[in-house]
Amino acid sequence: MREKIIVALDVDSEGEALALTEALKDYVGAFKVGLQLFHRAGHGIVTKLVEAGVKVFLDLKFHDIPNTVAQAAAAAVESGAFMFNVHASGGKKMMQEARKAAQASAAALGIAPPLLIGVTVLTSLAEDELQDELGVERSLPEQVAALARLSQEAGLDGVVASAREIPWIRAACGDDFVIVTPGIRPLWAAGDDQKRIVTPQKALEDGADYLVIGRPLTAAADPREAAKKLLAEVASENKGEA
Ligand code: C5P
């Protein structure tokens, strides 16, 4: 269970990120560096976290022409991230080039390639926005499933998705495909601005491989206590079912 939790380090400075990492590293599996921290603290933050002994999910959602994304993918591998992502809507060729560059870069470094994850439809987009603003004719479930399938065909390891989308993705891509789910809230936590939230237990039951959890841990008065409470919540619900 512990290994499946990825903490979203959505903070403004290296100091805050390192302090949270120190407090939480014994209770979770990895830490996510997204656009906010990457741009505030600089790209060196990834190497610093890796040197601190933790796994890093580099959540920069690359979306550009295939050659540019391939170069960025090589840099992501060199940073030491264990997972990074691209937008599936960049197309199959873009994803294939990212995969190829990541594998070549990892081989040159003598390391295992990081998990490469596709972003299907941002969970902040509603179906009417997808259709009316972006001109997509498919329904939301069909578009999520189609982009997950395209990611798989391009050789990606999995996708980021709302826990509610797991059944559509499992149906399209099978069990051997990683699903990373944000929007997780333990029973005792506030929903914040997330609209479609699920509990950690529910996301795991539905087949999520990794849970991205931010504010319930990072904004807690005592992040370490919050992490212990989260692990206890999942453990006790598991026991209840056994
Ligand atoms: O604080 P909270 O638990 O809401 O943080 C969730 C993290 O997951 C944030 O870093 C957010 O950017 C990210 N995320 C998300 N929904 C997505 C993709 C990523 O909430 N569809």
> Could you tell me the CATH number of the domain that includes residue 174?
3.20.20.70
**Main-chain phi, psi angles of 187, to 5 degrees:** -55, -35
Cβ of 213 below 6 Å from ligand 1: yes
Residues paired with residue 160 on neighbouring β-strands, in sequence order: 119, 180
229 tagged catalytic: no
241 is a domain residue:
no
Q: What is the domain count for the chain?
A: 1
The verdict on residue 240 lying in a domain is no
- Residue 20 domain-assigned? yes
Range of the domain at 212: 2-235
Residue pair 212/197 in contact (Cβ under 8 Å)? The answer is no
Residue 87 is assigned to a structural domain of this protein: yes
Segment 73-89 shows an average pLDDT of: 98
Instruction: Give the mean model confidence (pLDDT) for residues 107-123.
Output: 96
Q: What tens digit of pLDDT does each residue of 165-217 get?
A: 999 999 999 999 999 999 999 988 877 877 778 999 999 999 999 999 999 99
Measured distance CA(189)–CA(109) in Å, rounded: 41
Predicted pLDDT at 242: 41
Task: Say if 242 falls within a structural domain.
Answer: no
Distance from C-alpha of 152 to C-alpha of 172, rounded to nearest angstrom = 10
DSSP class of residue 65 equals -
Tell whether pTM > 0.85.
Answer: yes
Give 239's pLDDT tier (boundaries 50, 70, 90): low
Is the beta carbon of 152 within 6 A of some atom in ligand 1?
no
Quick one: what percent of the chain has pLDDT higher than 90?
A: 89
Best residue among 89, 212, 215, 217 to mutate for probing ligand 1, ranked by most atoms within 8 Å of CB: 212
Domain membership flag for residue 136 = yes
Instruction: Specify the 3-state DSSP secondary structure of 209.
Output: coil
Give the H/E segment covering residue 59.
strand 55-62
* 51 domain-assigned: yes
Residue 185 resides in a domain: yes
- Of 187 and 89, the structure prediction assigns the larger pLDDT to 89
Tokens representing 100?
């190829």
